[in-house]
Amino acid sequence: MKLTDLNSAQDIGANCLLVEIGSFHILIDAGMHPKRFGLEALPHLDGLPPLDKVILTHCHLDHLGALPVVLRKQPNVEVLCSPASALIARRILRNSVSVMMRQREETGVSEYPLFTYSELDRVQGVLREMPLLKPRVFRATDGSEISITLHPAGHVAGAVGCLIEHKHRRIFFTGDVLFHDQETVPAAQFPEGPVDTLIVETTHGATPPLDGVTRAGEAARMVATVNETVARGGSVLIPAFAFGRMQEMLVMLNNARRNGTLTPCPIYCSGLGLDLADYFDMMSRKKGFVNFRRSVLQELKVMPLNQRFVPPGQDLSEKGIYLLSSGMLVENTPAWRVAANLLDHAHNTLCFVGYCDPDTPGGRLLSRKRGESFAFKGLDYVARIKAHIEKFHFSGHASRDELIDFARRCDPRAIVLTHGDPPAREWVEEELAMELPSAKVTNPVPGKTYLI
């Protein structure tokens, strides 16, 4: 097998792997780099050979965001994905076009949008959903065959890992993986038994596991935090990714409401999260390894966010829980605007429930202490931080020890590292050298082709 990492850097960026197996050319994911702008955010797609298949592991933009650009040059290549991803891919890309159009206005990046709404029809036309855990054989024009099986990967609704079998060789790509159940997505179900080559994500490689922290424990702590805030007459802002984390928080709050542990209070949600809740309901009905029912919104009496502009610094008169995108409090999003209302008032709380990059407003806010100032660029407003700020641990990625455990069970001859920042890859590489000394570990340099 030949493998080329087309991501522009050795980080969690524009995920895109070109693999050559026999006469097959397969692209695994075509993502957009979350921290780069314009054409720089794309993977290296120049010189891409004619592809036999694209496999889409899941619909986060760092895996999906450049797919329309790939399809512009190769409009007829089939994109294999889970039934849940086939449902939601176009909706996520549509939101990406909107964000790029807004960025064009705000930053003047003239290349934006990198693709248009009309190109999304092309994407929908070539998505081929595959039932999970069922191998499918594909034949090349020269008669050679490969078998592809998609395995549920936990992580987020629709996420899969991918087993490719060719001439008795087994190659497994984890994609982004979580080995524990979430409220809306069951744990990964990866293949048993040895594989020859393992391509593994390394997101948490540099993060030692937190002792005693469990998802259930964090959920209980969050409910207690909400109750304390409501009791002192404040509001709670939960900035959450609209795709996945927001639906998980809704189920979590509804469970707490059902068992009587959540103090009743109004819940407001932003438009995209509510819209995606409909998609989660459809995914769930397709038996797509997703557990979510739209009725949760009615049971919680969720209301759409009032779009009326309240000047920054002025507390919101409607008290309650504001479950809004974006998870990192990115500028000009619903969560960012509400944060500008809540931050300067001591009875309010901001609950961060996902990863915040240090370069985002969410990351910057988490590094500040109470009493310090915080600037809302674009609103011409500087807040004094008086609200409570809490961080909860609801990761969608496996811990580093679980990744090593899985690698040990696979007992591969070759391992390729992906989806991690350099220190994360370094830790995994060193650990694998001790745990699996006979395996050849490759930390691929972008653009370089390896014979694995």
The residue ranges that bind Zn ion (CB under 5 A) are 60, 62, 176
Shortest distance, CB of residue 187 to Zn ion, whole angstroms? 15
Q: To the nearest whole angstrom, how small is the minimum distance from the Cβ of residue 236 to Zn ion?
A: 26
**241 vs 376, beta carbon nearer Zn ion:** 241
Note whether 191 and 163 are within 8 A (CB): yes
Smallest distance from Zn ion to CB 175, Å: 8
Asked whether the beta carbons of 393 and 210 are under 8 A apart, the reply is: yes
Q: Which is nearer to Zn ion, 159 or 272 (CB)?
A: 159
Q: How far apart are CA 288 and CA 131, in angstroms?
A: 8
Q: Which is nearer to Zn ion, 177 or 329 (CB)?
A: 177
Measured CA to CA, the distance from residue 207 to residue 286 in angstroms comes to 35
At closest approach, how far in Å is the CB of 412 from Zn ion? 21
Residue with smaller CB distance to Zn ion, 65 or 362: 65
- Burial (CB < 10 A; 0-12, 13-18, 19+), residue 32, is buried
CB of residue 12 to Zn ion, shortest distance in Å: 6
Minimum distance, C-beta of residue 396 to Zn ion, in the bound complex (Å): 7
Nearer to Zn ion, 5 or 176 (CB): 176
User: Residue 156 Cβ, how far from Zn ion at the closest point, in Å?
Assistant: 6
Give me the least distance between CB of 220 and Zn ion, in Å please.
26
User: Cβ of 303: how many Cβ atoms within 10 Å?
Assistant: 14
Residues 6+ apart with CB under 8 A from 233: 319, 347
Q: Please measure the distance between the N-terminal and C-terminal CA atoms of the chain and give it in whole angstroms.
A: 5
Buried b (16+ CB within 10 A) or exposed e, 89-114: bbbbbebbbebbeebeeeeebeebbb
**Identity of the residue, 256 or 356, whose beta carbon is nearer to Zn ion in the bound complex:** 356
Of 34 and 447, CB closest to Zn ion = 34
Nearer to Zn ion, 12 or 305 (CB): 12
User: How far is residue 42's CA from residue 46's CA, in Å, rounded to a whole number?
Assistant: 10
Residue closer to Zn ion, measured from CB, 3 or 350: 3
Separation between Cα atoms, residue 222 and residue 201, nearest integer Å: 29
The conformational region for residue 425 under phi > 0 = left, psi -120 to 50 = alpha, else beta, is alpha
- Nearest 5°: phi and psi at 350? -110, 125
Q: Quick one: 311 exposed, middle or buried, by C-beta within 10 A (0-12, 13-18, 19+)?
A: exposed
- The two three-digit tokens of residue 157, written as one number: 């609704």
Q: Which of 32, 123, 49, 116 is nearest to 81 (CA)?
A: 123
CB 141 within 8 Å of CB 45: no
From the CB of 201, what's the least distance to Zn ion, in Å?
7
Quick one: 60 or 345, whose CB is closer to Zn ion? Answer: 60
Which residues have C-beta within 8 Å of that of residue 434, sequence separation ≥ 6?
Answer: none
Closest distance to Zn ion from the beta carbon of 424 (Å): 13
Shortest-Cβ-distance residue relative to Zn ion:
60
